[in-house]
Structure 1
Amino acid sequence: MTTGPVPVLVYDGDCAFCTTSVNFLTRRVRPRCTVTPWQFADLDALGITQERAEHEVLWVSPLGAVHGGAQAVAKLLLSAGGGWAWLGGLLTLPPVRWIAHGVYRLVAANRTRLPGGSPACALPADRRPGGVRSAS
């Protein structure tokens, strides 16, 4: 039973790899949060942009602090308690934090090639490594 506001985990619901990963985490890790695809979230109310939500998984605290990528995963693990919280805490400490960030970026950039990945998982062209940013 939860009392008061809970954090929100926002992920790409169009990406099969992301959806599979989030489903695994919610079943096995059991984080204390609301989980929603960005496509169905009120992004303005959460204080995040669509561009950021397309780029990485996001953890939005009840007070509105936003953590992305590997740090969102760390917050998810911390919320679960027990041994998961220990692992989440480890992910927040340098140099593990830096390594986790690099691994997260590598996975995010290649999620179309990972099990469960699909063309819908692809980052927009201007967000891919080596991609050309549009002049806007």
Structure 2
Amino acid sequence: MSTVPVLLYDGDCGFCTRSVRLAARFPADVALLPWQAADVAALGTTESRARREVVFVDEYQRVHGGAAAVAALLRRCGPGWRVVGRALGAPGIRPLAERVYRLVADNRHRLPGTTPACHLPSEQWPG
């Protein structure tokens, strides 16, 4: 089954929303949706996962999370970004990319563009 790929992000997080707005400037045939407005189950993922990490569902319904989701998105954003996306998925770089992603995700409430929702424990996030 082939559909338009979807990137799910936390629409209650200012940092996440600003990051997605930046990504939207690059050419890519990808739907950018806050997980709060999506049927996550129909996309093959869970609310719990979407709260924890960005999720990318490709055109074949394969689900990627965290740094792998960012890499999957970048591979669809034009020639220069495609190279970056491939590099993030390379065996020697993938573990480092995931650690950096986790560090950013775990501390996003400290980054520019945050909102009060970013300061709440995940079980208290609105949505």
What runs of 5+ residues in structure 1 fail to find an aligned partner? 127-136
Deviations 1:23-64 (A, max 9, x none): 01111x232211100000011110111000000000001221
| Distance (Å, rounded) in 2 between the aligned partners of 1:75 and 1:98 | 15
**Aligned counterpart, 1:82:** 79
**Does the alignment pair 1:14 with 2:12?**
yes
What is the Cα-based RMSD across aligned positions, in Å?
Answer: 1.5
Q: What secondary structure is seen at the aligned counterpart in 2 of 1:80?
A: coil
Instruction: Choose which of 81, 93, 97 in structure 2 pairs with 1:96.
Output: 93
Partners in 1 of 2:82 and 2:120 — Cα distance?
A: 30
1:55-74 → structure 2 map (5 Å cutoff):
55-74=52-71
| Equivalent residue letter for 1:19 | T
| Residue identity (%) | 52
User: Do the aligned partners of residues 63 and 46 (structure 1) sit closer, same or farther apart at CA in structure 2, a change above 3 Å counting?
Assistant: same
Which of 14, 22, 25 lines up with 2:23 in the alignment? 25
Q: Quick check: which has more Rg, 1 or 2?
A: 1
Partner Cα distance (1:84, 1:46) in 2: 25
Question: What TM-score, normalized to structure 1?
Answer: 0.84
Look up the match of 1:41: 38
Aligned-pair distance for 1:113?
0.4
| Partner SS, residue 41 of structure 2 | helix
SS at match of 1:43: coil
Q: How many residues align?
A: 122
Question: How far off its partner does 1:122 sit?
Answer: 4.0
Structure 1 residues 125 and 42: CA distance shift in structure 2, 3 A: closer
**TM-score, with length taken from structure 2:** 0.89
